[in-house]
Chains A and B, each alone.
Chain A
Amino acid sequence: MVNTSTPLKAESKDLNFYYANGHQALKSVSMPLYENKITALIGPSGCGKSTFLRCFNRMHDLYPGNKYEGQIVMHPDNTNVLAAGVDPIEVRMRISMVFQKPNPFPKTIFENVAYGLRVRDEKNKRVVADKVEEALKGAALWNEVKDRLNDLAFNLSGGQQQRLCIARALATDPEIMLFDEPTSALDPIATANIEELMSELKNKLTILVVTHNMQQAARVSDFTAYMYLGEMIEYGDTDVIFTRPTRKETEDYITGKFG
């Protein structure tokens, strides 16, 4: 069961989300996000798990007409990141994101990782270089790229590119890192690397990951939430969800009868 001694990092409360076309993609979703834990979102395609994830860093604000209702509260400061007065850019300074397909900038390896620092007006070259090295080490990429930091990022393999994107998201010391199906474009070995990396990263930050791959959720996450048609069907300890789910729908999805 949920260990109550674990501090809460963030929490969504009765979150509704509407796309510009009026479609309600999230229906009253409430879920905690525990600090230094990995929470996995699973569910069939179109169930709203990516939509939910992208609420946390206000990515939906990039497109006009999208509407949030409800709250996502961050702790310890109790900031509702969805509040009208909160600048989405400020939220993204605290919550970083890794995308489905590796999306490095057409710049050098170094500049990719340094970009978050540049955006934060970090001018000190020493600081930037140190942070880039630290982030690349944190993303388990340093040894592979330390001799070619000025190469273009596109010259890396897919798995390396994804770790570069993790380094980019890591360089700015985020409190929460969002992963949107981070391994769906990668081969099994690269996938294993990323999963291992996530398990290490949770010592530093809190992770929310969307995955299509149930084994992945079972392997890496501490908590799992099953979503279906925009609703949070079940949330709990990963061990419990995968062995003794309380809801019939969850069991059907996990055992492959559905989805």
Chain B
Amino acid sequence: MALPISQTKASVLENLDAVRAMIRRHKRNDIVFATIGLLALMLGLLTLLTLFVNLVMDGYPRFNLQFLSDFPSRRAGSAGLLSAWVGSALIMIVTFLTAVPVGVAAGLYLEEYAPKNWFSDLIEINVSNLAGVPSIIYGLLALGLFVYGLDLGQSILTAGLTLGLLILPIVIVSTREAIRSIPVAIREAAYAVGATKWQVVSDHVVKYSQGGILTGVIIGMSRAIGETAPIITIGALTFIAFLPPSPISDVAPYLNFEWLSSSFTVLPIQMFNWLSRPDHAFHINAAATGAIIIVVTLLMNGTAIYLRYKIRKNIKW
């Protein structure tokens, strides 16, 4: 209840009890909201934690090195993830090498060079929109463009390019945000000593936005590593009992690129494959795989946070 005007005009000391009651009443809202907020937070966190613990408990029997070094098999007990994690790792390399240069260059151009008008606004809206396009649409695009159009086949290269395309909007948006966080005063300082746009970009903008860009890249990659739909669409195999040719060779030039055109499988597809079998023993494998995917994702996100902290430590604004 509000204090009458006549009383609010009087000094606090004369109405001490009424004032204290009012403060207590106002503070009740703090407690109410803190409780609601905590519950909301727990609802999300606990659900995820339960899921993770459940996966770990189910998959526990398969947590050994053999699980990582065995090929898939008809016998659940001796089936492993070797071809799946190698496939995932190789695809991530292609994704990284395509999404980073293209995404960073596009973000830099949009932020630093593109004229600001209705057309660049339109592009901005579309880039943000692309981040929300269902991943299976990317799979269909890749099937038409990479598999049939460019005749790259159902290969690691196709999968890497597809996922690169998928995370491109994430890389572009995080690049632009990182660039925008650089204060105008720093840019002007560089221009004021006679720097050209490219000197400002290469000596300052790129360097100071590294942390943000890297974070976006890793978060994009951790999304890509769990993607299943587009990979299935472009025709990943579900049962692969061989490894792609090694990227490193013992003769000069010590690199070979045959692995790019190899067929492949990835972790989430292997998991899906095991999950769809009637034999419960395979479900244990699936649970173990799920737990591993989550741990890898967590590790990647953790690395992103650490790198951001490390790079931003020397930058104070």
Residue of B nearest to A106 (CB): B315
Q: Which of A10-18, A164-172, A201-209, A221-229 contacts B (4 or more CB under 8 A)?
A: A164-172
Complex alpha-carbon distance, A106 and B183, angstroms: 11
Docked-complex contact B191 and A172, CB < 8 angstroms = no
In the assembled complex, how far is the CB of residue B111 from the closest CB belonging to chain A, in whole angstroms? Answer: 14
- Chain A residues whose CB sits within 8 angstroms of the CB of B196 once the complex forms: 89
Kindly state whether residue A93 has any CB partner on chain B within 8 Å. yes
Docked-complex contact B194 and A116, CB < 8 angstroms = yes
Complex alpha-carbon distance, A251 and B38, angstroms: 62
Kindly state whether residue A118 has any CB partner on chain B within 8 Å. yes
Complex alpha-carbon distance, A93 and B195, angstroms: 9
Complex alpha-carbon distance, A89 and B116, angstroms: 22
Kindly state whether residue B145 has any CB partner on chain A within 8 Å. no
Encode contact with B along A132-174: 1 for CB under 8 Å, 0 otherwise: 0000000000000000000010100000000001001100100
Kindly state whether residue A59 has any CB partner on chain B within 8 Å. yes
Docked-complex contact B314 and A115, CB < 8 angstroms = no
Kindly state whether residue B35 has any CB partner on chain A within 8 Å. no
In the assembled complex, how far is the CB of residue B141 from the closest CB belonging to chain A, in whole angstroms? Answer: 35
Docked-complex contact A105 and B192, CB < 8 angstroms = no
Complex alpha-carbon distance, A97 and B187, angstroms: 13
Complex alpha-carbon distance, A57 and B204, angstroms: 20
Residue of A nearest to B117 (CB): A64
Question: Which size class do B's interface residues fall under?
Answer: 20 to 34
Kindly state whether residue A99 has any CB partner on chain B within 8 Å. yes
- Chain B residues whose CB sits within 8 angstroms of the CB of A119 once the complex forms: 193-195, 199
Docked-complex contact B314 and A103, CB < 8 angstroms = no
In the assembled complex, how far is the CB of residue B70 from the closest CB belonging to chain A, in whole angstroms? Answer: 49
Kindly state whether residue B252 has any CB partner on chain A within 8 Å. no
Complex alpha-carbon distance, A116 and B193, angstroms: 5
Kindly state whether residue B295 has any CB partner on chain A within 8 Å. no
A contact residues vs B (CB 8 Å cutoff): 57, 59, 62, 64, 89-90, 92-93, 96-97, 99, 101, 103-106, 115-116, 118-120, 152, 154, 165, 168-169, 172
Given contacts A62-B187, A64-B115, A118-B203, 16 further A-B contacts (CB under 8 A): A59-B192, A62-B191, A89-B194, A89-B196, A90-B194, A92-B192, A97-B192, A99-B189, A101-B185, A104-B189, A105-B189, A105-B204, A106-B314, A120-B194, A154-B314, A169-B193
